[in-house]
Amino acid sequence: MAQRWHVVLLSLAAISLWATPGGMSGTGLYSSSDQVTILNRGNFYRTLYNSSNAWLVEFYAAWCGYCIDFAPTWKALANDIKEWKPAVSLAVVNCANPKNADVCRRFEVSKYPTMKFFKAFSKPSSKGKYFDNHGAASNMSSLRHSIIDSLERHGENVWPPACPPLEPISMAEVQNFYASNNVRYLALIVEQENSYLGREVILDMLQYENISVRRVLNSEENLMMKLGVQEIPSCYLYFANNTQRKITVKMPTRASYRYYLQWLPGVTRDAYKLNPVDVTHPTAAHQWRDFNSAKIYMADLESALYYSLNVEVATHQELSGKSLTALSRFIGVLTKYFPGRPFVMKSLQMTNSWLAKVGTTPVSYTDFANVLHNKNGSTRTLFPNKVNWVGCQGSRPQFRGYPCSVWTLFHLLTVQAAKYNRSMAQREEIQTDPQEVLNTLRQYVKHFFGCRECATCFEKMAEKSMDQINSLNEAILWLWSQHNEVNNRLAGAQSEDPRFPKLQWPPSDMCVECHSVVNGAHLWVTDEVLKFLKVHYSPQNMDYSYLEGLQELLKKQNPKERTQQEQQEVGLEEGERDRGIEEAERERRNEQAPVTNEEQRDISIAIQGIRRDASQRRTFIRRRHVRRGEEEDIVDLDLFVNEQYGRQALKENAENRRGSLVNDGVYRLQMHLQSIDDSESLDYAVLQSRLQKRGIGNGHLVAIAEGKRKNWLHLLGMNLSRTDISLCILLYFLSSLCLLSMYLYFKSRFRWRKWKTRFASA
């Protein structure tokens, strides 16, 4: 009964597919994003014949139920053996497409799916050999073994040139290996004769340089003794100095050995040969920075911020609508979760506050950049001013860099959001939206990420499964899995750095517990992966090497502004010099005017208010006229002196000795203090004439002097409110009553004792 229902369902599926345009036109079950080559009548013959690698071709029909069931297995197989492509590649032909009917008929395909194996350098007369399989019931392990068997039946005359030898190695070959091979490592996998482990790893490492992998059978006793083999299977590294080292992995499986060997120092992908340097556009050589791949470098994170906000966002001359909302949310998430240095965080906080005030009002990128880079001059607020790759540096300038750093930034934000949410839960506060960070990153990539194809792929991944995330831990794992999917898709592409191949991450040497093998297939232990990600992307795992400190950044960012500022001051001083000649002449004439005794006394009293103690040096004030509005501020001389001494102390330790002359667009009165000896006296007539020119009479001077005489009264009420004074008066009154009561009590008691003594004597 169950079999009948299965047949019915397959029939219905076949009818529905045949009824659809896809089934009629033969659009097929595979797409260009799969690791298979889609063949048709136009490219079939030129692709398969005289090819330097072997081909395994699946002939299928899009309406066939068994083909539909088998398609996921074939896609997974193509992805699993993508490193084998120089030796053998997978292809498909949709026989349901009428245009391919003659191809399927010529190769005598009458059942679906049918697979045929074409040897390297096959001739046009070849129709291929039927591939041993079990249809939809086949699994990847059996298919891989069948492919290896087919390769070994090639023969020496038509052996694929890129395919390494798959036969066992002997003792003599090992001893003479480095004499004829220029590689850094020789990996020897010891196994039984019927094992496919060694041959699978050999093909997995096919596209990597500086390493050669060979298999050793347990029947090779001399070689077994030389290596000191104690268990089978096992793997050893054999070096040119005739020494060896055993590779220690959690489980002796294909995935474990492959990860270990691919991450060996100096092992690179052969694609390096396919990326020649463009001599027409030479790039400056950059200094290589040694780094620890197990660390997260703050230099990479700050470089990602610089590039994203100064290069990618800068492509929008005006920020409005959805792009402005995406930017505001991105800055908000950075402010909330990014564990940056204090002056960087202050810059992000200022920018976030400014964007909150702006709201939905369109703004120009120039205004945004001015706030981000602190053009208003707030103290200890700086933003990175260049890229500085460390852990994300590539072997060439065009490799890695920003894509690597932005992925690192994204992972860090998801982990920090989970930790923040945990602390919120402990305080019984409102918890964070599980998709807050991912949705923010999604909108940023959609509106600002420069690689539009990458942005489209990320959007497709988000549409597919992002809405299924229900916790922040799931958000961490979702981003990790999608990153590995991207690495898998781009492995071997022209954009891949051969020194840093796009492998599935983390490797087994960084997290042994993250890997597992079930029925020969590699599986991730997601609980262990989650633990690893939370530790790896934590502030405790950050390295602050190769970073410029606050003082270095200040020296680089301030000189330009300081030069402009000095030019402004020089221009003002030149203008003042011209006006100062006329002013000095007028002041000289005013100094000759007689001064009465009363005015002399008032001025003397006023001057005493601006002098300090006898232990300190007196100062006199030299006024410098500066252009300003119609009204001038009246400067309190006493307060000015106090502030000036404090400012002078700060100036002695500061590198930038000139302050800004402009405050809110209005020039202020500039006053300078010069020290003189106590023996020198002030010219009261000159001071009086200058004050009179500002509209200040002798009465104002006397008022200042009177204020100084009463200054001790202000000290009594300093920082006290009316309530405080009232309480003081009340307490004074109560204490007086208490003292009066005590006085009356003791006085009456003394009288009583005196009266009692007299009465007793009588």
User: What is the Cα–Cα distance from 56 to 587, expressed in whole angstroms?
Assistant: 103
Residue 261: Cβ within 10 Å count: 21
Pairing of strands 211-217, 185-191: parallel
Same domain, 555 and 539: no
| Amino acid at the residue 684 | Y
- Exposure of 515 by Cβ count < 10 A (0-12 exposed, 13-18 middle, 19+ buried)? buried
**One of 64, 163, 392, 511 is an active-site residue; which one?**
64
Contact 297, 390 (CB under 8 A): yes
Contact 186, 178 (CB under 8 A): yes
Same domain, 77 and 132: yes
- How many C-alpha atoms does 381 have within 13 Å on its Cβ side? 16
N- to C-terminal Cα distance for the chain? 137
Residue with tokens 């006290």: 720
Pairing of strands 88-94, 54-60: parallel
Same domain, 562 and 532: no
Residue 157 included in any domain: no
Outline where 338-361 has alpha helix (H).
342-358
Count helices and strands (H / E) in the chain: 27, 21
User: What is the Cα–Cα distance from 296 to 366, expressed in whole angstroms?
Assistant: 32
Residue 696 included in any domain: yes
**Residue after which a domain boundary falls, among 92, 120, 152:** 152
| Amino acid at the residue 254 | R
CA dihedral 357→360→361→366, nearest 10 degrees, is: 80
CATH number reported for the structural domain that contains residue 262 in this entry: 3.40.30.10
pLDDT of residue 535: 94
User: What is the Cα–Cα distance from 35 to 78, expressed in whole angstroms?
Assistant: 5
Same domain, 121 and 184: no
Q: What is the 3-state secondary structure (H, E, C) of 86-99?
A: CCEEEEEEECCCHH
Same domain, 213 and 93: no
Same domain, 245 and 264: yes
- How many C-alpha atoms does 436 have within 13 Å on its Cβ side? 21
Tens-digit pLDDT profile for residues 603-613: 444 444 433 34
Tell me how far CA of residue 107 lies from CA of 71, 101, 116, 127, 339, in angstroms.
21, 10, 9, 6, 63
User: What is the Cα–Cα distance from 419 to 344, expressed in whole angstroms?
Assistant: 21
Same domain, 702 and 760: no
pLDDT of residue 303: 92
Residue 286 included in any domain: no
Which uninterrupted H or E stretch holds 404?
helix 402-426
Same domain, 709 and 742: no
**Residue after which a domain boundary falls, among 543, 570, 591:** 543
What token pair was written down for 529? Answer: 């992966």
pLDDT of residue 721: 66
User: What is the Cα–Cα distance from 606 to 708, expressed in whole angstroms?
Assistant: 9
Q: What is the three-class DSSP state of 12?
A: helix
Give the full edge-to-edge strand order of the sheet including 88-94: 37-39, 88-94, 54-60, 114-118, 129-130
Contact 314, 297 (CB under 8 A): no
Outline where 112-253 has alpha helix (H).
140-152, 171-175, 177-180, 197-204, 221-227
Residue 281 included in any domain: no
Q: Which structural domain, as residue segments, surrounds residue 672?
A: 551-656+665-715
Q: ∠ CA(340), CA(341), CA(343), 5° rounding?
A: 120
Residue with tokens 């395919």: 163
This prediction's pTM? 0.51
Same domain, 379 and 514: yes
Is 728 one of the catalytic residues? no
User: What is the Cα–Cα distance from 335 to 314, expressed in whole angstroms?
Assistant: 20
Which positions of the chain have pLDDT values less than 70?
A: 1-27, 132-138, 155-157, 271-286, 377-381, 424-432, 520, 550, 553-721, 758-762
CA dihedral 350→351→353→355, nearest 10 degrees, is: 160
pLDDT of residue 199: 93
Contact 425, 473 (CB under 8 A): no
Contact 128, 39 (CB under 8 A): no
Q: What are the backbone dihedrals phi and psi of residue 327, each rounded to the nearest 5 degrees, phi first?
A: -65, -40
Is 64 one of the catalytic residues? yes
Residue 291 included in any domain: no
Q: What is the three-class DSSP state of 228?
A: coil
Going by C-alpha positions, the residue among 495, 546, 542, 537 that lies closest to residue 410 is: 537
CA-based max dimension of the chain: 159
Residue 161 included in any domain: no
Tally of structural domains, the chain: 5
Same domain, 462 and 499: yes
Cβ within 8 Å of residue 347, ≥6 positions away: 372, 373, 374, 381, 382, 383
Same domain, 420 and 519: yes
User: What is the Cα–Cα distance from 569 to 680, expressed in whole angstroms?
Assistant: 31
Backbone dihedral region for residue 359 (phi beyond 0: left; psi -120 to 50: alpha; all else: beta): left
Cβ within 8 Å of residue 590, ≥6 positions away: 686, 689, 692, 693
User: What is the Cα–Cα distance from 58 to 36, expressed in whole angstroms?
Assistant: 10
User: What is the Cα–Cα distance from 145 to 349, expressed in whole angstroms?
Assistant: 58
User: What is the Cα–Cα distance from 586 to 588, expressed in whole angstroms?
Assistant: 5
pLDDT of residue 287: 77
What token pair was written down for 19? Answer: 């009824």
What token pair was written down for 476? Answer: 């961490």
Residue 290 included in any domain: no
Residue 245 included in any domain: yes
Same domain, 490 and 556: no
CATH number reported for the structural domain that contains residue 301 in this entry: 1.20.120.310
Q: What is the three-class DSSP state of 238?
A: strand
| Amino acid at the residue 310 | N
Contact 399, 500 (CB under 8 A): yes
**Residue after which a domain boundary falls, among 485, 516, 543:** 543
User: What is the Cα–Cα distance from 409 to 297, expressed in whole angstroms?
Assistant: 10
Going by C-alpha positions, the residue among 638, 702, 631, 629 that lies closest to residue 673 is: 638
pLDDT of residue 322: 92
Tens-digit pLDDT profile for residues 160-182: 888 888 999 999 899 889 988 88
